[in-house]
Amino acid sequence: MCCALGSAFPVSYASRIMQKQYFLPSSNLMGARLAGSHGDTQESKTNPLVSLSDEPETLYKRLSILVKGHDKAVLDSYEYFAVLAAKELGISVEKVDKPPKTIERFTLLKSVHIYKKHRVQYEMRTHYMCLELKYLTSSTAAVYLEYVQRNLPEGVAMEVKKTKIEKIPEHIQKPVWDTLPQVEETEVKS
Amino acid sequence: MAARAGPCCRAGLSGGALLSRALLSRALLSRALLSRASGTPAPPLWGRAAFSSAAAVSGREGPQAREGSVRRRGWTPQFARSAAPPRTERMAVDQDWSSVYPTAAAFKPASVPLPIRMGYPVKRGVPPPKEGNLELIKIPNFLHLTPPAIKKHCAALKDFCTEWPSALDSDEKCEQHFPIEIETVDYVSSGTSIRNPKARVVTLRVKLSNLNLDDHAKKKLIKLVGERYCQETDVLTITTDRCPLRRQNYDYGMHLLTVLYHESWKTEKWESEKSEEDMEEYIWENSRSQKNALDTLLRIKASENVSNVAEEELLASEVVKNYRNSVIALKNKGETESNMSQYKESVKKLLNIQA
């Protein structure tokens, strides 16, 4: 459950951990569910699979998903699916980029032995699709990525670049030499 | 008769071969004799007459062809089970499609009520239909991910998502409260192994303006870090991949940042030997330009026979300050139109030249 938003940082955010029940992409999972309100505490009480913890959530400023495949039609369908899933889960899609395809070609000898003048050529075409999402918490990112990766079609690869944002840790707030005046001399000598 | 019927049977009475009823019945009789003699099931015959008489001849003959010996074109087994009508005919228009294809499955032409054609068409023809079409089975299909199905899945998953804090709605605010950015990459691909050695790389980015550094510490840090600092964006980037695990690389990156920070606050004895070549930016005080300017002004004053003016007074005067600013701008920012014209003006004022 998110604590009071807009108050001074640091705020601890509860993370939602999916229970060990195997995730099935069918709607028959949940038993009786109250009419889908997205309020937090009520849902956690009614949905037995959701458990809350007090550890603070890590925040992802940007999630960049690059999908590579050999067939452009498959990637187009996957893009539609991923964008719709992001919209339904309330994730803001920054942009959908389609870098140009790369073609890797090579020429081999056609025959096992001699016949140098007769070759055969092969090529591999790789199409790309880059999806950039903004402002996700770790629970949301975990849910979205698991859903999207389980439905990755065969023969398609994915790279996910996560940009996590963090506070400056305590030991970098002030130089340590201020707090240890006596020990400084010996340290410098050694 | 028997000899004549035999070859006829074996050659294949394909569609179009017309036999008189008498001949047919004779052929059947001979076949029966043949089968009784050889003891093997006789190959089934083509034609309606076969059905009526075959029942009398012997028991049911299954649709088995003799191995290799009989080759028939367009051959239907004698008691072919007519194929059941495809499921598509019994599908309602408003059915729940997510129960037909709940998970990823191969394309089944009898379960998909769409008149799809796929493949390269024959000459003056159309692409092949969906029945027995390998192209449709090979390509991954998204029949299990129709928009209503996706909405259902997301509605079930929504419980597990948390909201982004509304206070952090812009990049600047994120920067202000959470200055450090850590970038990691995950790889998903099909293969014999799920591991990817590139996944252990961790990149740490932080703006130096967010760290608690004074002037000397910032300059020392930039010198220590070298190429990892970008002047334009004031961003320090540390990329670590020397450890085998991602967590170890992250810890090492944070350790590097800590060490750099604390070391830059320390002042070593040999730092006092910093010479003009080591300076990051041009400082006018105690430079040749200042000496030359003062020298020139003093000589001007001496030639005009004015009593010795103090150096501090000269330095504090307006013209010298203008000159100082223009020289610093030229050295630090480079030569531009405005910088050069500013320098020209200041020199004219300094030397009292009316152009």
Does the pLDDT of residue A19 top 60, yes or no? no
Q: A97-101, long-range: CB within 8 Å, 24+ apart, which pairs?
A: A97/A129, A97/A130, A97/A131, A97/A132, A98/A128, A98/A129, A98/A130, A99/A128, A99/A130, A100/A128, A101/A72, A101/A125, A101/A126, A101/A127, A101/A128
Average pLDDT over every residue of A66-77: 94
B222-231 per-position pLDDT tens digit: 989 989 999 8
Co-location of B182 and B122 in the same domain: no
Co-location of B150 and B228 in the same domain: no
Q: Which residues contact A82 (CB under 8 A, 6 or more apart)?
A: A65, A67, A131, A148
Does the pLDDT of residue B353 top 60, yes or no? yes
Co-location of B176 and B212 in the same domain: yes
Angle between helices B288-303 and B337-350 (to 10 degrees): 30
- Say yes or no for a CB contact (<8 Å) between B150 and A88: yes
pLDDT value at residue B182: 93
- For A:145-164, CB contacts with B below 8 A are 145, 147, 149, 151-164
Average pLDDT over every residue of B328-355: 84
- Say yes or no for a CB contact (<8 Å) between B164 and A89: no
- Say yes or no for a CB contact (<8 Å) between A167 and B159: no
d(CA A182, CA A172): 20
Share of chain B above pLDDT 70, in %: 77
Q: Does A26 touch chain B (CB under 8 A)?
A: yes
Q: Are A89 and A64 in contact (CB under 8 A)?
A: no
A115-138 per-position pLDDT tens digit: 999 999 999 999 999 999 999 999
Residue that wins the pLDDT comparison between B222 and A182: B222
A99-113 per-position pLDDT tens digit: 999 999 999 999 999
B88-116 per-position pLDDT tens digit: 888 888 889 999 999 999 999 999 999 99
pLDDT value at residue B276: 76
Q: What is the mean pLDDT of chain A?
A: 77
Co-location of B154 and B178 in the same domain: no
pLDDT value at residue A17: 47
d(CA B248, CA A30): 39
pLDDT value at residue B302: 80
Co-location of B249 and B324 in the same domain: no
Average pLDDT over every residue of A34-63: 68
Co-location of B252 and B328 in the same domain: no
Winning range, highest mean pLDDT, from A163-167, B242-246, B281-285: B242-246
Co-location of B179 and B153 in the same domain: no
Co-location of B137 and B196 in the same domain: no
> Closest Cα of chain B to A115: distance in Å?
33
Q: A88-92, B238-242, B300-304: lowest mean pLDDT where? A: B300-304
Q: Is residue B71 part of a domain?
A: no
Q: Are A126 and A70 in contact (CB under 8 A)?
A: yes
pLDDT value at residue A70: 94
A157-166 and B202-207 as β-strands: parallel, antiparallel, unpaired? unpaired
Residue that wins the pLDDT comparison between A184 and B225: B225
Co-location of B143 and B229 in the same domain: no
**Which region holds residue B124: left if phi is over 0, alpha if psi is between -120 and 50, else beta?**
left
Domain count, chain B: 3
Domain-terminating residue out of B267, B294, B313:
B267
- Say yes or no for a CB contact (<8 Å) between B168 and A59: yes
- Say yes or no for a CB contact (<8 Å) between A168 and B171: no
d(CA B277, CA B268): 19
Share of chain A above pLDDT 90, in %: 49
Q: Is residue B58 part of a domain?
A: no
- B/e letters for A152-170, b = 16+ CB within 10 Å, e = fewer, are bbeebbbbbbbbbbeebee
Reading the block at residue B184, the tokens are 């990691």
Average pLDDT over every residue of B305-319: 74
Q: Is residue B12 part of a domain?
A: no
Co-location of B340 and B306 in the same domain: yes
Q: B258-263, long-range: CB within 8 Å, 24+ apart, which pairs?
A: B258/A169, B258/A171, B258/A172, B260/B221, B260/B224, B260/B225, B261/A172, B261/A175, B261/B211, B261/B213, B261/B217, B261/B221, B262/A175, B262/A176, B262/A177, B263/B220, B263/B224
Q: Is residue B153 part of a domain?
A: yes
User: Is residue B250 very low, low, confident or very high in pLDDT (cuts 50, 70, 90)?
Assistant: very high
Q: Which residues contact A109 (CB under 8 A, 6 or more apart)?
A: A115, A116, A118, A119, A120
Tokens 């007090």 found at: A54
Average pLDDT over every residue of B255-263: 92
Domain extent for B109: 92-158
B65-81 per-position pLDDT tens digit: 454 455 556 676 777 77
Q: Does A71 touch chain B (CB under 8 A)?
A: yes
pLDDT value at residue B36: 53
Q: Is residue B289 part of a domain?
A: yes
Q: Is residue B11 part of a domain?
A: no
Which strand (E) or helix (H) includes residue A183? Answer: helix A181-189
Q: Is residue B303 part of a domain?
A: yes
Co-location of B262 and B286 in the same domain: no
Neighbours of A21 (CB within 10 A): 9
Share of chain A above pLDDT 70, in %: 71
Residue that wins the pLDDT comparison between B125 and B79: B125
Does the pLDDT of residue B13 top 50, yes or no? no
Q: Which of A161, A165, A169 faces B174 most closely, judged by CB atoms?
A: A165
- For A:110-149, CB contacts with B below 8 A are 135-137, 139-140, 143-145, 147, 149
Which chain A residues are closer than 8 Å to B181 by Cβ?
61, 163-166
d(CA B237, CA B134): 51
Q: A133-147, B26-40, B152-166, B268-282: lowest mean pLDDT where? A: B26-40
Residue that wins the pLDDT comparison between B53 and B122: B122
Q: Does A30 touch chain B (CB under 8 A)?
A: yes
Q: Are B150 and A84 in contact (CB under 8 A)?
A: yes
Residue that wins the pLDDT comparison between A34 and B8: B8
d(CA B174, CA B178): 5
Q: Is residue B216 part of a domain?
A: yes
Co-location of B188 and B102 in the same domain: no
What is the three-class DSSP state of A117? coil
d(CA B29, CA B53): 9
Cα distances (angstroms) measured from residue B158 to each of A39, B147, B257: 11, 16, 38
Residue B229 carries which side chain, given as an amino acid letter?
Y
- Say yes or no for a CB contact (<8 Å) between A71 and B139: yes
CATH number of domain containing B204 = 3.30.160.20
Does the pLDDT of residue B156 top 80, yes or no? yes
User: Is residue B215 very low, low, confident or very high in pLDDT (cuts 50, 70, 90)?
Assistant: confident
Q: Does A173 touch chain B (CB under 8 A)?
A: yes
Does the pLDDT of residue A3 top 70, yes or no? no
- Say yes or no for a CB contact (<8 Å) between A154 and B190: yes
Q: For residue B43, which phi and psi values (nearest 5 degrees)?
A: -65, 140
- Say yes or no for a CB contact (<8 Å) between B190 and A161: no
